[in-house]
Chain A
Amino acid sequence: MTTPDALNDFIDAAARALDLPVEPAWKPAIRANLEVTLRLAALVGSFALPDEAEPAPVFVA
């Protein structure tokens, strides 16, 4: 998923696997959005957390 071609392939495969009707004209915008999300996810993922870290799916004070 690190090269443009790989991301395009991923989008095509994911669309098929998830049964999402992606029209060719939509792909550049979908890819641009996914690139931003993956970049931000990498920023989150690069923060070291212990194996024991618990998710917090809903905020509780």
Chain B
Amino acid sequence: MSGSTTDTALASAVEIAGAVSSGDLTASAVVDAALMRIAAGDKAINSFTAVTADRARAKAAAIDAARAEGRPLGPLAGVPFAVKNLFDVAGLPTLAGSKINRNRPPAKRDATLIERLEAAGAVLVGALNMGEYAYDFTGENVHQGPSRNPHDPSRMTGGSSGGSGAAVAAGLVPLSLGSDTNGSIRVPASFCGLFGLKPTYGRLSRARSFPFVASLDHVGPLARSARDLALAYDAMQGYDADDPVAAQRPFEPTLAALERGTQDLRIAVAGGYFRRSAFPEAIAAVDRVAAALGAAREIEVPEAARARAAAYVITTAEGASLHLDRLRTRAREFDPAVRDRLISGAMVPAALVSRAQKFRRWYRDQMLALFADVDAIVAPATPCPAPAIGQQTFVLDGVEQPLRANIGVHTQPISFVGLPVVAVPVPLSPLPIGVQIIAAPWREDVALRIAYALEVAGVVAAPRPGNDIGRRPAG
């Protein structure tokens, strides 16, 4: 914290909560500094769509009053955070990146995950830009403008949780929430150089968040360190009757076991499919992580290409089902690219979708069998570092291919069966790139332990943006 009352731009959530709890900083000073950074720095990266300044100041004042009265503070005391704008924020319409949803009445109650973070002392400071209705891997948005990568604002943040990546990477906030249906936390974590956790399907409550593909939707945190991810994740765990697919799992803390090391873990590298369709940077990043972990074994994820294909088919069909009425009545108000994908999805015969669901069970059984022999699998998070905003194609496997749909080739086969993943940032130059640490169902603790060990070893780190977006003086 270096004694400064406002220089919290790149402080971790752990550091902020510690300083607020000890009285070295007030929550009000932390939140005011975050609001100033957002006011000064967000123009360059376009990550916020709403700033909840009044609410944040009131919450911070309440935390400071609680401390003055000697009441215990939560583990996230005074930590500013922001959420992808598909989470309900009381008093705001839940946009989900769309123009259409601007007509929705303001949400009456916060999403469960916001309530849980605030119960732990965190302070919501705003809502974040995202690809329309989360059907996106780029972070571009035709209505709000693209979120921009703090490491190079001419480049994509990745999506669809684009603002969630940009705001944390720029140092505007230390913590954000995103959602991940096919890679939408892991892709911006990769492009923006962050740690991102996509938990096991059903682990964290999606209650009062706008859906996309019900059978694939996950929610989770992005942060600049593994410890901050674990801290936030632990605060958000727990069954929630408001999410119909929430798992009846006990609280399984991860923070306390973070430093246990990786000696007892069997870690393998995904071969075959995951070594193809990747730029040299993606392979180099995986190899660097694998070497640090002593992961010499390579395993084949069976039928990964079909798994990705099945996830694609289910996504387009379920997404179209969600939006069918809006497509009939308000088609012109969609992002044209999203609209055309959804209309196409509405036309996919149900027989083909059912085949994909049947394949999902087969593939799930294969993946669970793999985890009888390994505790974690290392794989690329994205095929390339952040492309230029607006880029339409890239050359993959020697063939020019559409960029947008193929950004998720490595994330989709994993979320397809709900496995927990921590995306870790390998700080290559000039741009970082992410690696997936994939664990068995309900073993977020394993993925977080590995992420932490890699961070301590200096192999992964959230690089500080060279242009100091989060540290520009206000005005």
Contact = CB atoms under 8 A, between A and B. Distances in A.
Interface of A: 10-11, 14-15, 18-22, 26, 29-31, 33-34, 36-38, 40-41, 43-45, 47, 49, 53-61
Contact of A49 (B344, B358, B364, B442): B358
Contacts of A18: 324, 346-347
Nearest to B352: A41
B306 A34 contact: no
Contacts, number: 116
Given A11-B347, A14-B347, A59 B359 contact: no
B45 interface: no
* Interface residue range, chain B: 35 or more
Interface in B320-347: 324, 327-328, 331, 336-337, 339-341, 343-347
Nearest to A59: B418
A44 B416 CA distance: 13
B309 A56 contact: no
Nearest to B360: A56
A16 B107 CA distance: 35
B337 A54 contact: no
A40 B346 CA distance: 16
A54 B309 CA distance: 18
What DSSP secondary structure best describes chain A's contact surface?
A: helix
Contacts of B309: 40-41, 43-44
A11 B349 CA distance: 12
Contacts of B313: 37, 40-41, 44
A26 B336 contact: yes
A38 B348 CA distance: 8
A36 B347 CA distance: 13
Contacts of B354: 55
Interface string B172-195: 000000000000000000000000
A49 to B, nearest CB: 5
A33 B346 CA distance: 11
Interface string B290-334: 000000000000010110111011001000000010011001000
